[in-house]
Structures are given as structure tokens and as C-alpha cells.
Structure 1
Amino acid sequence: MTVAAPSRTVLMDAVRTAVLAPSLHNSQPWRFRVGRGRVDVHADQSRRLAVLDPSGREMMISVGAAVFTLRVALRRHGFVPGLELFPDAGEPDLVARLTAARFAVPTPAAELLAEAIPHRHTNRWPFGPRPVPAAALGELADAARREGAFLSVAGPDTTSAVLELARTADLELRGRPGYRAELGRWTAGGAKRRDGVPVRAMGPTDRLRTLPVRHFAEALAFPLPSAPFESDPAILVLATAGDTVFDHLRAGQALQRVLLTATSLGLATGLISQPAELAATRARLADAVSSAWPQIVLRVGDGRPVRSTPRRPLEETLLPSGGPAAAPAARAGRSRWSPR
């Protein structure tokens, strides 16, 4: 059965939503091509962090988060998206192609995810002492499972080990040649900048030195304030069964589903990516959480409201339209995951 293609207005609205996805240093390493009844998602190599992410693993996680956000946006418009990864071997940066597989009224769960998108912000501030309910942690783990990933909740001993690894990795990264210059690239530029991490989004340093908050202040001409962070943080580790580029994209989609689920539950979220950014600490992180391939560490809790980081104008993320016609819905992709 042929499905009527979404209008260009619908597709552009979905892309406008997709750019709200999280990315390392708010680098926004994606571009989109809107065609007849489809959206192609490209990795933007010019925005990969060469020092911090030489393999492009975290770039692909960011692109995966944008892909999931695009899926949610299309689902809210009544289209169950068909998803094909790397549809053209001649275009290695063409990461995903989304088409309309069929019509379906959005479920309440899909609506909740969509409503959470503009309210999801990385929170770099201290969280309150109220523990995260076990039921909420279970919902977050289920969100990761729906995308083929695993989310483990760290117990007290594991939390201590994970945070120690994060501190070790953070210290080593800060001594890496070019790290400070790269950090400055994504924090400088003033209020008119439409990417990167502005001062208002950085948060304070941890006065107790418990949590390895990214030291964005190293690229600033003035110090950030300090504040005591929670002494017993809720730490979660997102992992995948493998470590291929497909697993990195899966991790990004799972990450965004987890973050949006947390937002819909009224939880604040922060990311601790340092221990997975170095091979040695990542291997030790895998041992600590009994997981083959940890991709990122999350911190969740009761946090103060924070503002969004800026986004580039939509036209800067768009590639010229064109290319081959969209595939029929019956052949639309190797994967048809739906944000139910």
C-alpha cells in the first residue's frame, strides 16, 4: 500500500525539531536534505571535535540523537517513520534516510516524548538531595531497551568507581595537546553565537570536587563560581552490545529517548562523557559496570530549571534539495523503529 508523502512543510517542521537534539559541546554536527517524502541526515565532519573525538564516535552519537528526535517529530505528525542507515555506499556521511512508512495516530507515549523535546536541556548545576524514584529509573532503563541499548543504574560502590574514572579521564584530557584550544573554539564568540556552550549554560565548578564537571572555564578569561554538588548522585551508564558505527548511532537514539523520558518525568539530566573518551578509562568503565561497550555516563536528579543552548539558523543545517526520488513506503529502510 502506497503512503501519501508528508508535505514539505511537515518535513521542514520535523527538521526544525531535530536540531534541538543534544550534541557534544553543542557542536550540532548534522545537516539535512529534505526531498520528496523523505529527510536525509548527514554527519557534518567539519564539526567533529578532532582532539576530543578523533574517531568520530561521539559525533555519531550526536547524529543518532538528532535521528531519534526527527523520528519523534514525524511520529507526532502522524507518520510512522521508516529508517534506513547508510543508504548510499557512495556517500559515507549520509547517515540516515527517514521516510513515511505508514499513517498512525500518535500514541500518548509518542506525544509525551514530542512535548519534552523543547524542554530537554543539559543541566550542569547541582541537583537536589531527593532520590530518583525506582519506578522512574525503571522507565529510563526501558527507554534504552526500546532502542537496543542498555542502561545500568550504578550502586554506591560502582558510582564511586565511575566518578573516579571520570575525574582521571578529565585530568588526562585537560593535559592533551590542543584540548584547550578546541574547548575555546566551542565556548568563545559571545552572545551572538548560535552553537557551542555559552557561559550561562556552563554551571559552576564542584566545590567538593565530587563530580567531574567539564572545565569550560579553562577557555574563559574569568573563573566560574563554585558550588557544592550532590554527594550521592544518581549515575547511569548507557552501553551497547557492540562498538561499530551502527552501535554509536543506536546509542545516540537511545540516549535521546532516555533524556526525553527523563524530561517528561520532571527529572534533570546531565552528561559525563569523559570516561568514555579515553580507551583506557573506557575499558575500566566497562569492567566497573559489567558492560562490553559503555558509550556515555548520565547523571539524573532533581535540578533547577536551566535555559537552552543556542541553535544555528535552520538554513545553515540544510543541504540543497535533490537526489533520487524517495523509495516507496513498502521498501522504506532496513529499520522501522517507532517512538511508541
Structure 2
Amino acid sequence: MSESLSDRAAAACLRAAVAAPSIHNTQPWRFRFDGGGFDVFGDPARRLEAIDPQHRGMYLSVGAAVCNLRLALAAEGWVSRLERGGPEGRAARVALAASREPDGSVRALAGAIARRRTNREPYDDAVIPDATLDALCRAGAAGGVRLVALDPVRRGAVLALTQAADAVQRADPRYQRELTAWTTGHADRRDGVPARVFGPRATTAALPLRDFGLDLPPKERGLARFERHPHLLVLHSRGDGRAEWLDAGRALQRVLLTAVVHGLAVQPMTQALEVPNLRRMLAAQDGRWFPQMILRVGYGRPVDTGPRRPLRDVLLPADGTSLPLRSTAFSRPPAATAGSRYRR
């Protein structure tokens, strides 16, 4: 085992990090590699002021990227140590701690990074086995984070709140402008949500999905029948600050990768979490658990992935003058290298 992380391995791990999901695919993260570890920052310039004024969604996204980064390091044979916060507004530091041969579960989750997608298509009307739901809940249980599978009564309540939130947002010009800004642009755009992954419009309002194609003529969007009784999961955290959001994002990504391993499709349904008075209605009555993510899960057909920015756009210089990795590390690695697991 190498005693240091090579530039090529570091670049491969960063490609895994930026493969994480993010709110509207804004990819609101920046990284700095100094040989001994990675500093991870949020990128306030890519924040969404209409739906994420407190940057909660941004920190969830950064937490998901941190999860991918640590899994990729583990798959390369490295144990890492996580430090939350830090100078310069740092969200986290992932420090190299020791080398160790990865186990099968780590390899499975790391291998799922490149296959994870946000799937906005209809899912089958099929029951998810209890054992699979239990595996997802275990993946989402970490310290002060928990994942709950909703029963029919709670599912109906969450869908009703989501429908109400969707109506509020559609009537907000700021929301409409923000959504348009992240769903339109040139075909070669490397961020945002492109039309190819919008998914069809539902034939019924019973499943209130975010419509990323508000500006598209109806003839350019197909209609489809979605499942009548969707499986919904809600991720909660104890506390509701930046550290808890980061931890929730890490747990969220473990859930998403575990879903991939079990052959499940997943779509976030976050409208009710973006309207403050409705989000409060989803919090635990004891005031100790705060909702951070709502997920729709099921069995669906494969879908395309969203675009990703190149590493040059998300790397900060280690010494203030130059990027920390050799230029050759930015090129896409050949198929035989470990980094090929994390291609977009």
C-alpha cells in the first residue's frame, strides 16, 4: 500500500465527491487538497436564495460530497478522519489517517457512486421488501440522524403538505425565476437540471412532483401514470444547524448508495421542506428531530445522469498560487485505473 495519496488517486476521489447529488444540481462545493487531506467548502456563490435562504440544502449537498469522498478514499485503501468546521468558512476537513484494505461493504457503496441517479420517472406498483427498507433505515442511522419509512397515514399527510408547498412555490415569481435559471441554458452546460432528466408530468396531482419544465410547452413533455401508493422516507436530524445539516447530507448519501445496491430508484421531494411553516409541521412534536429530506423510492427504469463540472472549476489552490494536482490528474483516467469507477 502506498504511503501517500497520489495525484491521480486524489483526482479520482474528487471525481467521486463531485458525483454527489445537490440541490438543483448546483454543485455548491469547493475542495482543497494539500497532500494530507482535503478541505471542503460550501460555495455561497451557487446558493439558491428562493428555496434555500439558510443554506441548509447547500450543506446537505456538501455532506453528500464528503460521504462520497471518504468512501472513495476507503476504496483506495485509506482510513480518513472527519473534522467539521474550521477556518475560512470551511465546512469540513477529510484528513488521511491510515491505510487499510477495504471490506466488501465499502467496495459495494463506492462502486454505487457512479450508478446513482435522481430518477424522476414513474416507479412500478411494487412492494419494497421490509428487509430492504430496514437496510435503508440502517444506512441513514448515524449519530444524531435517523431515517423513517412512512406508513399510509403519515404518507398521506406528507403528500398533502408537499402539494400545498408546490402550490405556494409555483405562485412565487422568485421561485420561478430561480428554477428557470437552473433548468435552461446551453446544451454543453455543466450544471443545473437539463431537460433530458426532467421526467414526464404526472397524469394526477396525487403525487406532487417538482415540475422542472415550467417553461416547456406541454407537447414537449410527456404524460405518464405514476405509482398510486409511493414509498416515502423522511430523514431527520437532532438539531438544525450547519453541523447537523452536514451529517444529514452524509447519511442521505449512504441511503442513496444503499438504494443503488438494492436496485432501487430514488427521487427527493423537498418542496415541503423549503416552505418554513410547512417544514415546521413535519418536525417532531418534542422539538428534538428536524426533517432534512423526503425521499420517494421504488423500482424504476434506468435514467440518464446530470452534468458535472470539471475538477478545475471546484478546486482551490493549496498555496494560494497554483492548483495542488498536476494537470494530468484532471484528465479522465483510463478504464484500468481505480478512478474509472467514478466517471460521470
Same fold (TM over 0.5): yes
Q: 2: CA distance between counterparts of 1:62 and 1:266?
A: 23
Q: 2: CA distance between counterparts of 1:288 and 1:276?
A: 16
Q: 1: CA distance between counterparts of 2:251 and 2:63?
A: 8
1:1-340 equivalence runs, <5 A: 4-88=3-87, 91-92=88-89, 94-146=90-142, 148-220=144-216, 223-287=220-284, 292-322=289-319
Contact 1:148 1:254 in 2 (8 A): no
The amino acid of 2:48's aligned partner reads L
Look up the SS of the partner of 2:239 in the other structure: coil
Q: 2: CA distance between counterparts of 1:110 and 1:210?
A: 38
Q: Count how many residue pairs are aligned between Structure 1 and Structure 2.
A: 318
Displacement, 1:272? 0.5
**Cα offsets for 1:40-65 (capped at 9, x unmatched):** 11111111111111110001000100
Consecutive unaligned residues of structure 2, counting only runs of 5 or more, are 321-344
Consecutive unaligned residues of structure 1, counting only runs of 5 or more, are 324-340
> Percent identical across equivalent pairs?
44
The amino acid of 1:316's aligned partner reads D
Displacement, 1:176? 2.0
Contact 2:284 2:290 in 1 (8 A): no
Q: 2: CA distance between counterparts of 1:215 and 1:279?
A: 20
Look up the SS of the partner of 2:236 in the other structure: strand
Look up the SS of the partner of 2:14 in the other structure: helix
Change (3 A) 1:79 1:147: farther
Q: 1: CA distance between counterparts of 2:232 and 2:70?
A: 27
Contact 1:154 1:237 in 2 (8 A): yes
Change (3 A) 1:82 1:224: same
TM-score when scaled to structure 2? 0.89
Contact 1:154 1:289 in 2 (8 A): no
Change (3 A) 1:289 1:273: farther
Look up the SS of the partner of 2:140 in the other structure: helix
Which one is further off, 215-224 or 257-266? 215-224
CA RMSD for the aligned pairs? 1.7
Contact 1:19 1:66 in 2 (8 A): yes
Q: 2: CA distance between counterparts of 1:229 and 1:86?
A: 41
Q: 2: CA distance between counterparts of 1:86 and 1:22?
A: 21
